[in-house]
Structure 1
């Protein structure tokens, strides 16, 4: 009887462990950038190696688990043009090519590891990557658009980059 009880307890624990393991199912979704920093441009960005242009709009794709789990992180990398409105010679000219060779030397590549906030089991939408001053990044999979009171990202657009960023 004791042996049967041990076997049943072992099976019960095994069943609990099986139920507690996060789903390994993955799904593809769109990614989008929202730049909050005034006077800069995000040339491109990537989330876990899935690259997109930083010009806005949703683009395909990123692969994430279908169910959120604690400790879920994403690796973000992005390129910033700190002076996207610089006056340049006419496109396609030798002068333009020379200008761009110098201009591109000011581009900065940044990276961050960001925790993904919990989303409801029933639904997540595209991943929005919000670029903030001081190379800070927030992500959300909220189905609410930026500016909605239900969207978790509240930082305003057109924020100025401070002269010195906090460490």
Structure 2
């Protein structure tokens, strides 16, 4: 891949990665000097039953990713291996390096609108659809990038991308692609278990009858989620700094 193509990929951050490498690639001119930045694909892993309907990391597209079934929360995750765009990232990791994450959530994925009766023309009930859309959520957080694992060191170009883990209670965890993925399941699900304790559960809503029954609780939960700070990732970084041991060592 030549430098012209790489520069084009870096500029079109929010567009498809078609024609671009799935690994980090250095390019010149975005930050101001050769190899000062990399173009990093972004993937998502979802641990809750919420659907992530899109977003971005530093402007690089987060792919829409469905949540797990409600009875699989804490046991499974969906996503990974797919990307809709990428972001620029400094070539060298340093303490205090942060990224800005914006994401959109469909918190009641099993809730569907009804249909108008045939005598009224049929089709989706637009009044119900409007009510449902009022409960879509959107969040933005600036989060630190954790220290990379030993095989990467401070050279982020050795990684395979940026993975955003969507844990419970709007908690985000960031790591570096699929590096040592099979060895990190215990860590990842341990962080998920911690995140589950940070907020109350949503009610189960699948119909307008459920909505009418749980509306007050739905409104309370929506307000609660808006005010939850990022806890899991800062705590994880603090523990790494205190022990000096990355989980794969």
Same fold (TM over 0.5): yes
Which sections of structure 2, spanning at least 5 residues, go unmatched? Answer: 1-33, 66-78, 116-121, 202-223, 230-249
Structure 1 residue 125 corresponds to structure 2 residue 160? yes
C-alpha distance in 2 between matches for 1:67 and 1:152: 28
The correspondence for 1:114, drawn from 140, 143, 167, is 143
Residues 34 and 145 of structure 1, relative CA distance in 2, 3 Å threshold: farther
CA deviations over 1:113-155 (Å, ceiling 9, x no partner): 1111223226111100011112110101143265x11468522
TM-score (norm. length: structure 2)? 0.48
Match of 1:32 in 2: 43
C-alpha distance in 2 between matches for 1:145 and 1:151: 9
Which sections of structure 1, spanning at least 5 residues, go unmatched? Answer: 1-22
TM-score (norm. length: structure 1)? 0.69
Q: Secondary structure at the match of 2:42?
A: strand
Residues 153 and 74 of structure 1, relative CA distance in 2, 3 Å threshold: farther
Match of 1:88 in 2: 113
Match of 2:92 in 1: 67
Match of 1:163 in 2: 200
Structure 1 residue 102 corresponds to structure 2 residue 102? no
Residues 67 and 153 of structure 1, relative CA distance in 2, 3 Å threshold: farther
Contact 2:102 2:140 in 1 (8 A): yes
How many residue pairs match? The answer is: 141
Higher helix share: 2
The correspondence for 2:188, drawn from 125, 139, 154, is 154
Match of 1:141 in 2: 176
Q: What is the RMSD of the two structures over their aligned residues, measured on CA atoms?
A: 3.0
C-alpha distance in 2 between matches for 1:136 and 1:89: 32
Structure 1 segments of 4+ aligned residues over 6 angstroms from their partners:
156-159, 164-167
Match of 1:50 in 2: 60
Q: Secondary structure at the match of 2:160?
A: coil
Q: Secondary structure at the match of 1:106?
A: coil
Residues 99 and 51 of structure 1, relative CA distance in 2, 3 Å threshold: farther
C-alpha distance in 2 between matches for 1:45 and 1:67: 25
C-alpha distance in 1 between matches for 2:176 and 2:62: 17
Contact 1:140 1:152 in 2 (8 A): no
